[in-house]
Structure 1
């Protein structure tokens, strides 16, 4: 019985690790970005006056390796600096993901062009989904 459970556990771990279509480096970057966004939210809550124990604990953890105390008079400046640092981490993490996505799209379109040009042009003709909102009215367009 133990042999069967050990074997099932080892194959389940391998199956989940290899079957994912998202590369491991991308998942790590996305997790880092998600953690940074969550920390930014907590820091902004603390800066706006939320002193709940969970928020305070998160803020202390954010400044754990520094000599910053939450009772310092310039804590709002330190919070702003830390928030800016986290925003830079988010921006830096998004760049390789964006480059990878653009390169992957280019590669797939090149392959599709070589194999089936009709399908490529049909896929390019499909309208792009944009979240900009409703289209401008005719009078505004003419005035522009």
Structure 2
């Protein structure tokens, strides 16, 4: 199964969220699943991929060309897909993934979550979606 993780790419993130990302990456890979994520190597986005690879997991990153120098493309990924823009990124992540996990993040993370949730609500897909927020970042 390929599991997408939506999470923060901000440099201003609590250390416990970095650990949460790493631990989730480990859990995904340890269960035999592949990680699909935004392709960046900073912040929680980076730690989730590091966690998956630390136990031999496969990572597939999807990053817009304009963000390659902002989110610092993760060249250690098994596969990186460079797309034109955020719309294409979200569509490609949805296409590649069988399930979606949402970690604490900012407006970009929420936008990704709402788009995938609306798609499920409207019947465009039936893929599972879960929000993981153990520290109350979303309220």
> Which TM-score applies when normalising by structure 1?
0.23
From the two aligned structures, give the one with the greater helix fraction: 1
Query: For the pair shown, which has the larger CA radius of gyration, 1 or 2?
Result: 1
Which structure carries more strand by proportion?
A: 2
